[in-house]
Structures are given as structure tokens and as C-alpha cells.
Amino acid sequence: MPELPEVEITRRGLAAHLIGLAVADVVIRDPRLRWPIPENLPVLLRGQTIRALKRRGKYLLVEFDYGTLILHLGMSGSLRILPANTLPEKHDHFDLVLDNGTLVRLRDPRRFGAVLWHGGDVHAHPLLATLGPEPLPDKFGEDGFDARYLHQATRGRSIAIKQCIMDNHIVVGVGNI
């Protein structure tokens, strides 16, 4: 599974290519990911402009004027920026076709990834609402993650520290690696 630093690198790399562009089309080849891709996603996204690309834990958040596309890479997923006429391969499940002649393609051989939509405050989405604070330096302290927080969060627990800090309710994004 991509770890939090890889997801952040993916976010930074994609942001430079996506922000300010409009969605020309959405192609769903196989909606059967971890959770089904919403059938109405093409109608919701066509014509909308990407306003920001953010991250919460290991979720990528593509912000539009009227909602947020929530992406997760799962165990083996990747996002690629390609020319819009690039033919899909076997594990290419989802394309976000942009108005500049490129697309963002989700390739996920194991189909553990996610492509979801949330129309309101994305942080209220059930997958995001109970996540712990962010550990990365550019977010350090913003969500309350510091040595004092970690000390408090580990008190009264009898599990190994590795299991504790891998709990996304304690701190997001800490993986096995």
C-alpha cells in the first residue's frame, strides 16, 4: 500500500497539472473498487473546475466548486497523467478527462482503491470524520499532533506502540513500512 509520504508526493505532483482545469468527461470502465464508483459521477463532474488538490491521511481530495472527489490508491493503485487519447489497459478503471487534452487515470490491479464523491464538507464524510491528526511537518501542530499529543494518546493502552501509531484514529498514515 502506498504510504503517506508517497500519497503526499503524488498529491504534489498532480496538483501542478490539475488545478484550474475543467473536467471534460469521466470514464468509468469498472466501478467495482473497494466501494462502487458512483454511477452519476460523470454528470456531477462534467464542466466543473478543479479548485484544489489536498490530502487527508492517505486520501487524495480533489476539490471542486460543488463537492470533492475522494481518491484512495488502495494496495496497488496509481494515478497517471496521460494524453486523452491513450488507450486503457487491463487494470485502468477510471479516467478524469480534462479540458486541456490530458487525463488522470486510476490503475488499480487489485481494485482496493476508491473513487467516491462527497457534496458537503468532505471532512464530515464517514471515511474522514474520525481520522486522527496529520503527522507531516507542513501540517505539524495544525491538527494538534506533537509529542504531548502522542504521549497522551498512548496512555492507558496495553498494545504495542507499533499497533498504536498505526491506528488511523490516533495518527493518520503510519503504515507498516
Determine the pLDDT at residue 39: 96
pLDDT for the residue 137: 59
C-alpha angle 141/145/151, rounded to 5°?
Answer: 135
Q: How much is the pLDDT for 156?
A: 83
What are the tens digits of pLDDT across the range 95-120?
999 999 999 999 999 999 999 999 99
Per-residue pLDDT averaged across 134-156, rounded? 73
Name the DSSP class of 2.
-
Largest CA distance in the chain: 56
**Cell for 104?**
488522470
- Other C-beta atoms lying within 10 Å of the C-beta of residue 10: 20
Q: Which residues are designated catalytic? A: 2-3
**How much is the pLDDT for 5?**
83
Task: Give the model's confidence band at 141: pLDDT under 50 very low, under 70 low, under 90 confident, else very high.
Answer: very low
pLDDT cut 70: percent of the chain above it: 93
Q: What is the pLDDT of residues 14-69, one digit of tens each?
A: 999 999 999 999 999 999 999 999 999 999 999 999 999 999 999 999 999 999 99
In which band, very low, low, confident or very high, does the pLDDT at 140 lie, cut at 50, 70 and 90?
very low
Mean pLDDT calculated for residue range 72-99:
96
Q: In the predicted model, what is the mean pLDDT of residues 70-81?
A: 94
| 147 has pLDDT over 50 | yes
